[in-house]
């Protein structure tokens, strides 16, 4: 996609999935953090856009704001929104949309127009510090390409407890310009390393794709405990973009996967978990359970493990969810390939509700 010039532009089909995932995830994130442990939380949209598309569809900042406004019962924490948009006309458009909403007193919305994400974040950072730390933050980083989203900034956010990032890695654009001599410094900044230069020299498109993807994944992994990537590819099986999610909270990872698995397929695009190059898993209505079964059996064969270990493995090391593995354990137990060593009292066969239950794979 070439970056549009007008203030608002038509919504492309591939953007819909991104918005749907964002919305689903925020429905969980805001309520977990707000009703739970924290008096203040921060939502950043670093590349906010005008807040709506040419057909009247909501843009990402309005999706976040309306999600927060839609809670019943209402959110009790102080919720800060920082929307940054470099183009003044787009920022003005966004302000106009926000002015149509009635905001409760615990919402604080700042639109930084005519400023870059980096400049705005650096300027406002001190105002979001509580007890010496950045308040719990979700940062959505959604540039048209790669400029303006330096890795140093991503790292700075991830270094703080309960802070996470969701980055739209515009592979198609990045790949198109990766060998452009004018972009060397920008790519150094975006990847936070010079290693991308090695990827750029790969002539095979598939190799280059994996190399750039894996590099960004590794970079995020230096700052976050859990990192996953999701690939949106078109009907010709060409990568359009990757969404990278990085967090230090296991619950966050679970909620993001839930959002991914529930995203509707448009038919035009294919949406898959791309974290492990050897284990691409499509987000389909009917998950590919044989794949997860094979992963679990390979991992735990001949070993004694707890149900909790299997859940953690499924969530952290595979594309699957915590709701996906129990049916597999049931099948394995019924076919005698799994023995329960320490059952919970009054357990029914085929049930695995207690994470402390010990199992042995034969």
Ligand X SMILES: C[S@@+](CC[C@H](N)C(=O)[O-])C[C@H]1O[C@@H](n2cnc3c(N)ncnc32)[C@H](O)[C@@H]1O
Q: Return residues touching ligand X (CB under 6 A).
A: 45, 47-49, 59-60, 84-87, 90, 116-117, 142-144, 148
Three-class secondary structure of residue 281 per DSSP: strand
Please say which residue, 142 or 273, places its beta carbon nearer to ligand X.
142
Question: Using CA atoms, how far apart are residues 223 and 28, in angstroms rounded to an integer?
Answer: 23
Chain centroid to CA 217 = 12
Kindly give, in sequence order, each residue whose CB lies less than 8 Å from that of residue 3, ignoring residues fewer than 6 positions away: 144, 145
Q: Which residue has the tokens 């920022």?
A: 91
Please say which residue, 60 or 229, places its beta carbon nearer to ligand X.
60
Please say which residue, 44 or 340, places its beta carbon nearer to ligand X.
44
CB of 128 to ligand X, least distance (A): 17
CB of 223 to ligand X, least distance (A): 21
CB of 61 to ligand X, least distance (A): 7
CB of 144 to ligand X, least distance (A): 5
Strands of the 270-273 sheet, one edge to the other: 107-113, 78-85, 40-45, 137-141, 163-169, 239-247, 226-233, 270-273, 281-282
CB of 98 to ligand X, least distance (A): 14
Residue sitting closest to ligand X (CB): 148
CB of 53 to ligand X, least distance (A): 7
CB of 60 to ligand X, least distance (A): 3
Please say which residue, 63 or 332, places its beta carbon nearer to ligand X.
63
Neighbouring C-beta atoms of residue 85, cutoff 10 Å: 29
- Counting every residue, how long is the chain? 362
Please say which residue, 124 or 358, places its beta carbon nearer to ligand X.
124
Q: 113 to each of 44, 51, 101, 117, how far by Cα in Å? A: 14, 13, 19, 10
Question: Using CA atoms, how far apart are residues 263 and 241, in angstroms rounded to an integer?
Answer: 16
Please say which residue, 90 or 213, places its beta carbon nearer to ligand X.
90
Contact 304, 327 (CB under 8 A): no
Q: What is the DSSP secondary-structure string of 99-132?
A: HTS---TTEEEEEEESS-HHHHHHHHGGGGEETT
Please say which residue, 59 or 252, places its beta carbon nearer to ligand X.
59
């Amino acid at each position: 996609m070439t970056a549009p010039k007008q203030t608002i532009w038509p919504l492309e089909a591939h953007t819909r999935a991104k918005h749907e995932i964002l919305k689903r995830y925020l429905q969980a994130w805001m309520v977990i953090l707000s009703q739970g442990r924290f008096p203040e939380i921060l939502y950043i949209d670093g590349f906010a856009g005008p807040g709506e598309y040419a057909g009247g569809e909501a843009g990402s900042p309005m999706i976040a704001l309306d999600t927060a406004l839609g809670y019943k019962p209402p959110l009790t924490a102080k919720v800060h929104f920082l929307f940054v948009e470099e183009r003044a006309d787009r920022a003005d458009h966004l302000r106009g949309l926000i002015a149509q909403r009635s905001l409760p007193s615990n919402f604080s919305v700042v639109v930084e127009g005519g400023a870059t994400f980096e400049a705005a974040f650096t300027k406002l950072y001190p105002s979001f510090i509580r007890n010496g730390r950045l308040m719990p933050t979700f940062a959505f980083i959604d540039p048209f390409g790669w400029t303006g989203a330096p890795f140093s900034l991503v790292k700075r956010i991830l270094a703080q407890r309960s802070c996470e990032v969701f980055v739209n890695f515009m592979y198609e654009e990045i790949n198109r310009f990766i060998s452009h001599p004018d972009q060397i410094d920008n790519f150094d900044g975006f990847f936070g390393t010079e290693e991308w230069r090695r990827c750029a020299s790969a002539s095979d498109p598939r190799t280059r794709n994996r190399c750039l993807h894996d590099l960004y994944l590794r970079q995020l992994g230096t700052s976050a405990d859990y990192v996953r990537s999701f690939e949106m590819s078109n009907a010709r099986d060409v990568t359009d973009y990757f969404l990278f999610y990085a967090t230090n909270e296991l619950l966050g990872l679970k909620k993001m996967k839930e959002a991914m698995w529930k995203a509707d397929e448009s038919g035009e695009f294919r949406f898959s978990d791309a974290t492990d190059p050897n284990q691409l898993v499509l987000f389909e209505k009917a998950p590919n359970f044989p794949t997860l079964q094979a992963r679990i059996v390979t991992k735990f064969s001949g070993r004694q493990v707890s149900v909790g270990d299997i859940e953690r493995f499924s969530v952290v090391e595979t594309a699957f969810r915590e709701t996906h593995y129990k049916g597999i354990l049931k099948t394995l137990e019924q076919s005698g390939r799994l023995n329960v060593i320490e059952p919970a009292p009054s357990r029914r066969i085929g049930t695995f509700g207690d994470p402390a239950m010990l199992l042995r794979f034969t």
